[in-house]
Amino acid sequence: MDVESLYAKGLIAFEYERLIGGMEKVAGVSQQPDLFWRAYHSAGKRFGSYHFPNIPVPPCHEENILSFLGDLGYEVGDFMFFPEGFPDQRTGERWR
């Protein structure tokens, strides 16, 4: 399995844990490779405090997302956030 797929699985597992709990009961979860667990634990560190009534403002989201990507070994300078209303290069529609 490729690196990005393992990271995605770790992030999804974190979300499942938050929604339904009991990840230790999921078959095969204990045998997941280190890359899976790196994403899982980083997601918990960066996004674990998010709750519906107190989701942070967008600049905080961006900082947490970039920190998460940095935790996974990506060069955060390779990523940027486009401002609201920026046109999609494929469709010409404005992002919201």
| R_g of the chain, CA atoms, integer Å | 16
The pLDDT assigned to 54 comes to 65
The pLDDT assigned to 52 comes to 67
35: phi > 0 → left, psi -120 to 50 → alpha, else beta; which?
alpha
- Residue ranges in the chain modelled with pLDDT below 70: 52-58, 84-90, 92-96
